[in-house]
């Protein structure tokens, strides 16, 4: 039987969780108790917390954690009163969700499934979808956005962490540009060999244009965007030999990260520079009839707003690239 790339990724993540993967460690009793008392934070990307006003009041709201297993975010939402469902293809990640739920005594619906397939939920099922960085594991992103739009209630929100794929251009030590983009190991044998050598599963780069236009085509409306632009002044001094090559491709080099995430059992896409993440907040553009009052920012976001009427979006400096 032919093994799909998603089967490879599922087994890879299970192995990393067993090895102590950062994104597979469930929260402690103390963190859960603090959330019950209103002291909490969650991440869509590894480098920055999500603004609380992106969530609104979560009490009694139906929240889907899409590819969000690990026992890190869903317990927080449960502590805030949400009715939580988590979907992931990693059994180890789902085991962490079950562990925290049983320990703290709250209910959660746990679903083992592949987000690249049709989601096993009815239309208009969720008020909020929380989707941490994970599209680097899938070949095509548009079907995922379409499914998100389908299962969101009218006026519901999708919070998504995105990666623009720039990290795939560099070598293990981040000293040379070794790959052209897009990075697609299903179509490039050398790229597949790189991933196999690192035991990094099967991963793909996706541009900001691909992600954003996919969301809009799916019927989602962009409400907010946060980029991470902490470019260090020392980058030029630290990478003088790289800047020449990078500038030829129209890419400015950020400073190196504190640690290399490809080592220690983390997906290559989790070793990102802070500058190449974006956190997205999107809302369904389907007709809004009810259940919207709990979302405070909807008061300033017209329910009839269409993509043609949206103001120009100024993308973060390090989230827009053209690859030649």
Q: What is the pLDDT along the chain (324 residues), one digit of tens a residue?
A: 567 999 999 999 999 999 999 999 999 999 999 999 999 999 998 888 999 999 999 999 999 999 999 999 999 999 999 999 999 999 999 999 999 999 999 999 999 999 999 999 999 999 999 999 999 999 999 999 999 999 999 999 999 998 878 888 888 777 889 898 999 999 999 999 999 998 999 999 999 899 999 999 999 999 888 775 443 333 333 444 433 343 333 343 444 444 433 333 334 444 433 334 566 677 765 544 333 333 332 222 222 122 222 233 332 212 222 222
pLDDT of residue 278: 60
CB atoms within 10 A of CB 61: 23
Task: Please give the backbone phi and psi of residue 211, each rounded to the nearest 5 degrees, phi first.
Answer: -70, -50
Return the structure tokens found at 100: 């925290």
Q: What's the predicted TM-score (pTM) here?
A: 0.77
Cα separation, 160 vs 44, whole angstroms: 6
CB burial of 121-135 (b: ≥16 within 10 Å; e: otherwise) equals beebbbbbbbbbbbb
Closest CA to 126 of 75, 89, 77: 77
pLDDT at 163: 83
- CA-nearest of 70, 72, 61, 68 to 31 is 72
Delineate the domains of the chain, giving CATH numbers in brackets.
5-319 (3.40.50.150)
State residue 174's pLDDT score.
75
Q: Of 280, 305, 114, nearest to 206 (Cα)?
A: 280
Give the chain's length. 324
E strand or H helix at 296:
none
Tell me the CB-side half-sphere exposure of residue 124, using CA atoms within 13 A: 9
Angstrom CA distances, 136 to 80, 312, 322, stand at 29, 27, 18
Cα gap 88→10, rounded to integer Å: 9
Is there a contact between 283 and 151 (Cβ–Cβ < 8 Å)? Answer: no
Helix and strand counts by DSSP (H, E) for the chain: 9, 9
């Amino acid at each position: 039987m032919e093994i799909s790339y998603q089967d490879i990724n599922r087994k890879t993540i299970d192995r990393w969780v067993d090895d102590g993967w950062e994104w597979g460690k469930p929260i402690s009793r103390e963190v859960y108790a603090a959330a019950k008392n209103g002291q909490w934070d969650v991440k869509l990307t590894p480098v920055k917390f999500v603004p609380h006003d992106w969530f609104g009041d979560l009490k009694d709201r139906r929240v889907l954690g899409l590819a969000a297993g690990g026992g890190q975010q869903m317990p927080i939402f449960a502590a805030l009163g949400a009715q939580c469902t988590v979907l992931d293809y990693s059994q180890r990640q789902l085991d962490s969700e079950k562990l925290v739920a049983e320990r703290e005594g709250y209910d959660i619906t746990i679903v083992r499934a592949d987000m690249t397939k049709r989601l096993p939920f009815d239309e208009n099922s969720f008020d909020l979808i929380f989707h941490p960085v994970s599209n680097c594991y899938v070949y095509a992103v548009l079907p995922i956005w379409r499914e998100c739009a389908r299962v969101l209630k009218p006026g519901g929100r999708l919070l998504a962490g995105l990666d623009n794929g720039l990290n795939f251009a560099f070598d293990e030590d981040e000293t040379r540009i070794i790959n052209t983009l897009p990075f697609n190991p299903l179509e490039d044998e050398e790229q597949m060999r790189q991933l196999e050598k690192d035991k990094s599963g099967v991963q793909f780069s996706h541009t900001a244009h691909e992600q954003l236009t996919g969301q809009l085509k799916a019927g989602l409306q962009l409400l907010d965007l946060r980029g991470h632009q902490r470019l260090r002044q020392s980058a030029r001094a630290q990478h003088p030999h790289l800047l020449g090559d990078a500038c030829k491709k129209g890419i400015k080099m950020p400073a190196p990260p504190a640690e290399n995430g490809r080592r220690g059992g983390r997906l290559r896409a989790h070793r990102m520079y802070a500058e190449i993440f974006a956190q997205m907040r999107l809302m369904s553009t389907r007709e809004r009839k009810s259940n919207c009052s709990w979302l405070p920012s909807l008061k300033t976001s017209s329910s009839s707003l269409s993509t043609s009427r949206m103001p120009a979006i100024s993308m973060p400096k390090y989230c827009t690239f053209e690859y030649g």
